[in-house]
Amino acid sequence: MGTHIVTGVAGFIGSHLAEALLKRGDKVIGIDQFNDYYNPKFKRKNISYLQRQPSFALLEANIEDLNWESLLEGIDVVFHQAAQAGVRASWGEGFRQYTQKNLNATQIILEAAKETNSLKRLVYASSSSVYGDAETMPTSESVCPKPVSPYGITKLAAEQICHVYHRNFGVPVTSLRYFTVYGPRQRPDMAFHKFFKAVIQGEAISIYGDGQQTRDFTFVSDAVAANLAAADVSEAIGEIFNIGGGNRVVLADVIETMERVIEKPIAKNYIERAKGDARHTSADVSKARKILDYNPKVPLEQGLSEEWQWIKNLY
């Protein structure tokens, strides 16, 4: 039994991760600011289960306003999931939210972590967006990152600062580069949530570009398993891992799979390709398989039906 901190606990991945930790008997301090990048009512719903658990404590606060040195006393692992999300909102005026919440907030935690003796691991949630339009498919961690969005740049910068603190002060960090995570509680600005919601409301779904873009989709329980392993395996310290679903799928084929899941055709509306969206993503997960024993288990059709069930209850 350990005591862990999960930042961004009311978010999509954070809430699932906290739930898994509590179920195996750990104590969790969850931190969330409940900002309005998307409707906070979704976030409140995400943690309603957690708040009924005696081993869970919620700190509703901005990461930058907390006293991290005292917070980290006696903590085993920090799962740093909190971030300003979304590629498309990271241009223009919005950018300073990204530098502040993705970079500054991470540095504040690291600065306190270097003074803390109890901390066994800081698992940083990075993103496949650090690769941008990678030239090699599937993409391994050794490929030089070239983000194509301001969001991707801030995720990469925060990942780098984690590793600078590891090299200089021995902070035990591990970074996980998530490839398009989906499943129940997925954010309302993410494609599958938007698509399923449109179906329920009898609207056409909007597809950026020609629908031939590919993604490596990762079911949320697989992303959670990766976090638990990254916190546990000592060889993971100082390393970066791709966390993908193990297969790359064309968006048009995903929509066909969705049609099978919901048992009716989906109306499509093609719009201009979004700036900063990578054309293809494909994870080489061999490093995570080898070191973390990572083995994505949930196939796309099964994962989509689980998300569809959740969406139907939500709306």
Q: Which residues are catalytic?
A: 151
Contacts for 53-59: CB closer than 8 Å, 24+ residues apart: 53/22, 55/22, 55/25, 55/26, 55/27, 55/28, 56/18, 56/22, 56/27, 56/28, 56/30, 57/27, 57/28, 57/29, 57/30, 58/9, 58/30, 58/31, 58/32, 59/29, 59/30, 59/31, 59/32
Specify the 3-state DSSP secondary structure of 129.
helix
Q: If you search the block for the tokens 């270097």, which residue do you land on?
A: 114
CA dist 210 and 142 (Å) reads: 30
Specify the 3-state DSSP secondary structure of 270.
strand
Burial bucket for residue 156 (CB in 10 Å: 0-12, 13-18, 19+): buried
CA dist 192 and 63 (Å) reads: 29
CA 27 to chain centre: 21
Sign of CA pseudo-dihedral 32, 38, 40, 41: negative
Q: Give the 3-state secondary structure percentages of the chain, helix then strand then coil, rounded to 5.
A: 45, 20, 40
Give the other-Cβ count within 10 Å of 274's Cβ. 11
From the list 165, 12, 172, 166, the residue with the least C-alpha distance to 76 is 172
User: 176 phi and psi, to 5 degrees?
Assistant: -115, 120
CA dist 188 and 109 (Å) reads: 28
